[in-house]
Amino acid sequence: MKKTGFHRIAVPVILILLLCASAGCILSDPFGPRLFHVYSRYKLVITNDAPLYNVTLYIPLPVSNNIPTVGRTRIWRTPFEREFLSLQIVKTPPGLSPDDLFLVPGNFPLFLQMRADSWPPGRYVVEIPDPSIDVESPLLFVETLHPVGNQSVFLPKVRFLPPEPVRKPPSNLFSTKIEYSGTVVRQSVPVYVDYRSGANVSIFSSITTRNSWKTGYDQQYGNDYEDFFMLSPDRESHGWQLATGDFTAGDGFYPDFT
């Protein structure tokens, strides 16, 4: 039987389509991004190897929209309470100079005021997790590329410049994700410490937020931002000091919406 022009055209076209389909199965993600998840945690740790006396501390809290928060969870005084402590959340501590302070428009700094006649030796730890949740779409992920002004961060910061994440070149043309190099900047955060003692003291506080999802057969990817500071005051301290730490933004992988 004589082959028609249709058959001469159709066979190569079908072969090309089959090859493209096979390549697509190999190079693209047959399962697609799924199981989108968000998690945040706030932590404060104060250690001292001997008693402290006549203690007054002002510890910066993470703030978003003028509210002390971690993720979607508001921070209250209750987790910080101890029998020996008097607590209050304040926004105007005495003697804090506005010079060189980095502030976020629409947000004011909030501090945890901690007072005690006598603070026993040991390790004081408070952890407040924001309940982990599954979200329907990566459009509901927490903003980790540019968290300053969008998410909870410690305020105030001194002479601070928000980091600008750096996008890496794609690993292949069919990738369904974007990778950023986590940009880390050193930071200074004012902390008020006033006590009498010969103790070794350290103060550490952090907030971490992470987005994650699965893709392919069982591969997991994620991205996060972190804000932390730490301070080791003198054995006896009276007044404002600068704690130091790191602020990290845009660390990890992000779904490619294109």
| One domain, residues 50 and 131 | yes
Dump the DSSP string for 32-75: -SEEEEEEEEEEEEEEESS-EEEEEEEEE-EEETTEEEETTEEP
Residue 89's SS3 state is strand
Give the mean pLDDT of 132-144.
83
| Cα angle 20, 25, 30; round to 5 | 140
Range of the domain at 232: 31-255
Q: Based on the structure, what is the number of domains in the chain?
A: 2
| One domain, residues 182 and 119 | yes
| One domain, residues 63 and 14 | no
77-121 pLDDT, tens digit per residue, is 999 999 999 999 999 788 887 778 888 888 889 999 999 999 999
**Residue in the block written with tokens 């079908």:** 14
Q: 250 is written with which tokens?
A: 């845009």
**Percent of the residues in the chain that have a pLDDT greater than 90, as a whole number:** 55
d(CA 149, CA 147): 6
Question: In sequence order, what are the beta bridge partners of 67?
Answer: 64
Query: pTM to 2 decimals?
Result: 0.83
| One domain, residues 98 and 21 | no
| 30: pLDDT strictly greater than 60 | no
3-state secondary structure 143-194: CCCCCCCCCCEECCEECCCCCCCEECCCCCCCCCEEEEECEEEEEEEEEEEE
All residues at 6 or more sequence positions from 258 whose CB lies less than 8 Å from its CB, including other chains: none
89 contacts 111 by C-beta, under 8 angstroms: yes
d(CA 252, CA 173): 19
Q: 160 is written with which tokens?
A: 């601070």
| One domain, residues 135 and 19 | no
Residue type for position 225:
Y
Q: What is the mean pLDDT of the chain?
A: 85
| One domain, residues 87 and 168 | yes
| One domain, residues 146 and 248 | yes
| One domain, residues 11 and 125 | no
| 3: pLDDT strictly greater than 80 | no
Residue 217: count other Cβ atoms within 10 Å of its Cβ: 8
| One domain, residues 82 and 16 | no
108-117, 121-130, 163-172: least confident range = 163-172
- Higher-confidence position of 170 and 160: 160
199 contacts 52 by C-beta, under 8 angstroms: yes
Question: In sequence order, what are the beta bridge partners of 186?
Answer: 246
Q: What is the CA radius of gyration of the chain?
A: 26
